[in-house]
Structure 1
């Protein structure tokens, strides 16, 4: 598996395809909420793509700086590639971008409650009550990087 920053429209579309499959099709997030104003090249978001050994896109995520804090968003992995450690790989790649490229000393994310334990294992702590985003329970989670 390889991880790289997205620099082409073709790779960005592959990330969108993964997100639509995971969030829109599997989790029933409305399509108009999934792709937003930050989803383009050269903007304030840094997008990454994970590819398998056959160079097929299997995971993605993005990060942007919000008030000096790296905000991790849209982390998605195709179902057949879950439980292989790719979530950790994606989060670490985004944390590296936050600290090395964006100069952030903290990162945050709105984690789905069902994934809270995963993020806690990576050093995140809960910093909010449960809230709904796209009809799914989330909590704000924060980590020093």
Structure 2
């Protein structure tokens, strides 16, 4: 597996491809809301397996937090620890730009995964793209 910080148009397209497969096709998130106005201000990563994009995530600074977003792994690769690899790399990017606290909006089904990464829930449940979520933070 190779982790890359997105630096080319093709790598960004690869990130979008993974997101479309997971969020739009698998989870039925409307395509028109998956790509948003924050794409250009975020730093994206893509994980490749033999040059095929299989996982992605992004981070951007919001109110002094590193906000981790769009974290996803193709169904075929969910048993290899790539979620943790995404989290570690995004947090490293955040630390490199001076961020000391992180937050994310987690799908409730993924809440135990994020708890294992040191995040704790700070909100009640809410719907985002018709999927139940909670806000979680890590300092």
Q: TM-score, normalised by structure 2?
A: 0.98
4+ residue runs over 6 A deviation = none
Equivalent in 62, 65, 73 of residue 69 of structure 2: 73
Distance 1:12 1:90 in 2: 15
Gaps spanning 5+ residues in structure 2: where? none
* Structure 1 residue 105 corresponds to structure 2 residue 63: no
Residue in 2 that maps onto 1:30: 30
Equivalent residues in 2 for 1:1-145 (5 A)? 1-39=1-39, 43-52=40-49, 54-101=50-97, 103-144=98-139
Superposed CA offset, 1:86-139 (max 9, x none): 0000001000111112x1110000000000000001100000000000000000
Q: How many corresponding residue pairs?
A: 139
Shift in Å at residue 47 of structure 1? 0.3
Distance 2:4 2:138 in 1: 22
Shift in Å at residue 4 of structure 1? 1.3
